[in-house]
Amino acid sequence: MKCTARQFSDQKVCNRCGHCWDMNDPDPPKCKTDKQIKCERAIVARNMAMKELAWLGNTTKRRYESEKQFAHRVRKGLRDAT
């Protein structure tokens, strides 16, 4: 696919593939193929999903521990059950 770079001051930026280079660069980078872009987006999506799962796992573990501590305090009469 053709590069869609636009000039901003003394730089060129391609919104499609994310490359950025100086206007005076004698060897500008080649645009990524659609397959490369699709693969990178899939990797980013997978990494975001893994981070979200890790966050949910930690949140669930903290919630479980706090509920266990609350139940222990109620059994000992240190806190009312309300």
Q: What is the largest CA-CA distance in the chain?
A: 77
The full set of domain ranges for the chain reads 1-32, 34-82
Q: What is the pLDDT of residue 50?
A: 83
Residues 32, 38, 43, 49: is their CA dihedral positive or negative? positive
CB atoms within 10 A of CB 32: 18
- In terms of Cβ atoms closer than 10 Å to its own Cβ (0-12, 13-18, 19+), residue 3 is middle
pLDDT tens across 15-49, in order?
888 888 898 888 988 888 889 888 888 998 988 88
pLDDT tens across 48-72, in order?
888 887 777 777 777 777 777 777 7
Phi, psi of 20 (to 5 degrees): -140, 135
Q: How confident is the model at residue 5 (pLDDT cuts 50, 70, 90)?
A: confident
Instruction: Please say whether the beta carbons of 5 and 14 come within 8 A.
Output: yes
